[in-house]
Amino acid sequence: MEVLDAIRTRRSIRRYKNTPVDDRTLETVLDAARWAPSWANTQCWRFVVVRDSGVKAKLAETLSGGNPAREAIQNAPLAIAACAKLERSGFYRGEPTTDKGDWFMFDVGIAMENLALAAHSLGLGTVHVGAFDAKKAAEILGVPDGYCVVELTPLGYPDHEAKAPPRKELSEIVFYDRFGG
Ligand SMILES: Cc1cc2nc3c(=O)[nH]c(=O)nc-3n(C[C@H](O)[C@H](O)[C@H](O)COP(=O)(O)O)c2cc1C
Question: Is the predicted pLDDT of residue 6 greater than 90, yes or no?
Answer: yes
Q: Which residues line ligand 1 (CB under 6 A)?
A: 11-12, 67-69, 127-131, 162, 164-165
Residue 146 CB: number of other CB atoms within 10 A?
10
Cα 77 to averaged position of ligand 1 atoms, centre (Å): 20
Shortest-distance Cα residue to atom 29 of ligand 1: 128
In the chain, the DSSP E strands lie at 45-50, 78-85, 91-92, 95-96, 147-155
**89 and 100 Cβ atoms separated by less than 8 Å:** no
Residues 6+ apart with CB under 8 A from 52: none
Question: Is the predicted pLDDT of residue 1 greater than 80, yes or no?
Answer: no
Question: Is the predicted pLDDT of residue 93 greater than 80, yes or no?
Answer: yes
> Residue 57 has what pLDDT?
98
Distances (CA, A) of 16 to 13, 71, 75, 123, 167: 8, 10, 7, 12, 25
pLDDT band for position 133 (cuts 50, 70, 90):
very high
Q: What's the CA gap between 137 and 98, in Å, rounded? A: 29
Question: Is the predicted pLDDT of residue 67 greater than 80, yes or no?
Answer: yes
Residue 21 CB burial class (10 angstroms; 0-12, 13-18, ≥19): buried
Q: What is the dihedral of CA 7, 11, 13, 14, to 10 degrees?
A: 140
